[in-house]
Amino acid sequence: MKPLFHGLIRGEPLSTLQWWIGLRWGLLGAALLTALWGSRLPDPGFPTAGVLGAGLAGALLNAGFHFRLAIIRRKTAPDMPEIVWLTRIFLATEPLLMGVLFHLTGGAVSPLLLYAVLHATLAGGPLELRSALLYAGSVVAGLVGAVFWEWPPQGPGGGEPLLPVAGVHPNPWGIGWRLVLFAAVVSACLLWVSSLFRHLRENRRQLSGLPRSLPPAKGKLELLHEVANITSSTLGLKPRLDFICGSVRELMGVKGVTVRLLNDRTGKLELMSSCGLSPEYLNKGPVDADKSLAGVLKGEPQFVADAPHDPSAQYPQEAAREGIVSILSFPLQGRRKVIGALRLYTAAKREFTAEEMDFLSSLAGQGAIYIENARIYDALKKQDEAKNEFILMMTHELKGPLMAVQGFMEVMQKGYAGTVSEKQMELLGRVQKRIEAVMGVSAELLDLYQWQTRDREAKVAPISLTRQLEKALDLYGVVAQEKGVSLKLELTREDFQIPATEEEVEKILGNLITNAMKYTPAGGAVCVSLARGAGRIQLRVKDTGIGVAAEDIPKVFQEFFRTRRAKRMDPDGSGLGLPLVKRIVDGLGGEITMQSVENQGSEVIVSFPWSA
Contacts with other proteins by CB under 8 A lie at: 396, 399-404, 406-408, 410-411, 414-417, 439, 443, 446, 450, 454
User: Among residues 439 and 527, whose Cβ is nearest to other proteins?
Assistant: 439
- Asked if residues 154 and 162 have their Cβ atoms less than 8 Å apart, the reply is no
- Nearer Cβ to other proteins, position 298 or 456? 456
For other proteins, give the closer residue by CB, 32 or 435.
435
Instruction: Name the residue nearer to other proteins (CB basis): 331 or 577.
Output: 577
CB contact at 8 A, 223 and 248: yes
User: Of the two residues 75 and 454, which places its CB atom closer to other proteins in the complex?
Assistant: 454
SS (H, E, C) 196-256: HHHHHHHHHHHHHHHHHHHHHHHHHHHHHHHHHCCCCCCCCHHHHHHHHHHHHHHHHCCCE
Cβ-based nearer residue to other proteins, 182 or 451: 451
Reduced to 3 states (helix: H, G, I; strand: E, B; else coil), residue 524 is coil
Distance CA(599)–CA(550), nearest Å, equals: 12
- The nearest distance, CB 412 to other proteins, in angstroms, is 9
What's the closest the beta carbon of residue 459 comes to other proteins, in angstroms? 19
CB-nearer residue toward other proteins: 311 or 400: 400
The length of the chain, given as a count of residues: 612
CA dihedral 53, 55, 58, 63 (to 10 degrees): -110
Helix (H) or strand (E) holding 542: strand 536-543
**Chain centroid offset of residue 557 CA:** 38
Q: State the Cα–Cα distance between residues 526 and 524, nearest whole angstrom.
A: 7
Least distance from other proteins to the Cβ atom of residue 438, Å:
12
* Nearest Cα to Cα of residue 84 among 24, 15, 9: 9
Which residues, at least 6 apart from 69, have a Cβ–Cβ distance to it below 8 Å? 14, 17, 18, 21, 86
Taking the complex as a whole, the smallest distance from the CB of residue 456 to other proteins amounts, in Å, to 11
**C-beta of 259: minimal distance to other proteins in Å?**
39
Q: Which CB, 270 or 410, lies closer to other proteins?
A: 410
Residue 499 near residue 461 (C-beta atoms within 8 A): yes
As measured in angstroms, the least distance from the Cβ of 420 to other proteins is 13
Whether 598 and 549 have beta carbons less than 8 Å apart is answered as yes
Residue closer to other proteins, measured from CB, 407 or 533: 407
Cα-to-chain-centroid distance, residue 25 = 48
Least gap, CB of 440 to other proteins (angstroms):
12
Rank residues 366 and 413 by Cβ distance to other proteins and give the closer one: 413
Count CB atoms within 10 A of the CB of residue 496. 22
- Rounded to whole angstroms, how far apart are CA atoms 238 and 232? 13
Supply angle C-alpha 209, 210, 212, rounded to 5.
Answer: 70
- To the nearest whole angstrom, how small is the minimum distance from the Cβ of residue 410 to other proteins? 5
The string of DSSP codes covering 26-78 is: HHHHHHHHHHHHHHTSS--SS-HHHHHHHHHHHHHHHHHHHHHHHHHHHSSS-
Q: How far is the CB of 411 from other proteins (least distance, A)?
A: 5
Least Å from the CB of residue 506 to other proteins: 13
CB of 444 to other proteins, least distance (A): 11
Nearest to other proteins of 545, 577 (CB atom): 577
Shortest Cβ distance from residue 537 to other proteins (Å)?
A: 27
Closer to other proteins by CB, 444 or 543: give it.
444
Query: Which among 268, 282, 252, 247 has a CA at the least distance from the CA of 367?
Result: 247
Report, in Å, the least distance between residue 447 CB and other proteins: 8
Q: Are 463 and 505 in contact (CB under 8 A)?
A: yes
From residue 609, alpha-carbon distances to 96, 153, 434, 543, 578 in Å are: 80, 96, 42, 24, 20
Nearer to other proteins by C-beta: 56 or 439? 439
Helix, strand or coil, per DSSP, at residue 471 = helix
CA–CA distance, 324 with 256 (Å, rounded to integer): 9
In whole angstroms, the minimum distance from the beta carbon of 414 to other proteins comes to 6
Minimum distance of other proteins from residue 454's CB (angstroms): 7
- Indicate the residue among 70 and 417 with the shorter CB distance to other proteins: 417
User: What's 351's DSSP letter?
Assistant: P
Which residues on neighbouring strands pair with residue 291, listed in sequence order?
none
Compare residues 160 and 455 and give the one whose CB is closer to other proteins.
455
- CA-wise closest residue to 260 among 249, 245, 246: 245
